[in-house]
Amino acid sequence: MNVALTCLALLLAVPAAAAPFDAVWRDGPRGRDVPVRINLPDGKGKAPAVIWSPGLGGTRSNASRWVAACNAAGIAVIRLEHPGSDAAVYRGPATPQERDARVRAGIAPEQLLARIADVGFVADELARRPSEGACDLARIDTDHLALAGHSMGAWVVQAMAGQRPDGEHAPLIDRRFRAFVAMSSTGPADAAMAKAQFGGIGRPLLVITSNADGVPANASAGVVADQRVRRLSLFTGAPGDGRKALLQLDGGDHLLFAGDTRKAPDDLARQDRVARVTNLWWRHWLLGDAKAEKALARPPLAKADQWQRK
């Protein structure tokens, strides 16, 4: 076994997690209920935490593969469900036109802003609430918070990490988060625009995608190329300050990154690689783990996967 795999075996050989706790937290000023699912790692000690924002149509039950990896690394996870862009978008019968209208409403700017406010509200509540039922929230180290998300959740990540929509200002930045992971993010295809929007992101950021992420079946070569450029835009536009990384898998569709368990062996293997890399990322940036930092130099990946640091 090589050094990187040995490090990973050590990192993952810890108790996994206590039972999850579900709650609905009321944001009084906004008149909004925010469902959350809290997964603490086993034990009684303090733990850093990752807040997770799912993709459009996602719920607090998504991302189970990523949660298991975080808990194994000694990191808590709080998964959010965002009313207005949650499973209700796809629930129940609808004509294609009705479904399209629901999707457009779910990804409207006001829904993205509501999601960002949800994340900020939950971060506030984690600092304020000592417990949630039998869940000891006092274990969460709110000085070591991180943010991750998939698809529309990745839009939340890039906005709160410091995206500058107008190229000059980052109005939605939240400096409480020490590190970020954006899965299936998207941005401008133009390199100059990507740099203008993402060039001010100064904290650790890992971008995860695949060469098939969001690529329609039977798409033309031009559509495929455009989609891949947009998926990489957040990484290519971010500054090369030694704290940015890109994992691009060979294969794997868009929903693979939602983190729900897959049946196909190839997809399970892909998810395992994502889980291991994010495990190392959080241990490095949230726990200061020197072994994880060393393993990130050459994480164990498939031959055709791509790993870049800058």
Show the tokens assigned to 245.
Answer: 């990384």
Q: Kindly list the averaged pLDDT for each block of 10 residues, start to end, along the chain of length 310.
A: 43 54 98 98 96 98 96 96 97 95 97 98 98 96 98 98 97 98 97 98 98 92 93 98 98 97 96 97 97 96 98
pTM over 0.85: yes
pLDDT score for 164: 98
Residue 282 CA to residue 93 CA, distance in Å, equals 40
> Looking at residue 133, what is its pLDDT?
92
Cβ pair 5, 291 in contact under 8 A? no
Instruction: Report domain 3-309's class.
Output: alpha beta
* 192, 215, 218, 228 from 222: Cα distances, Å: 20, 11, 11, 10
SS in 3 state form for 258-298?
HCCCCCCHHHHHHHHHHHHHHHHHHHHHHHCCHHHHHHCCC
For residue 53, what pLDDT is reported? 98
Query: What pLDDT, on the 0 to 100 scale, is given for residue 1?
Result: 42
Could you tell me the residue ranges of all domains in the chain?
3-309
Query: What pLDDT does residue 8 have?
Result: 46
State the sign of the Cα–Cα–Cα–Cα dihedral 188, 192, 197, 200.
Answer: positive
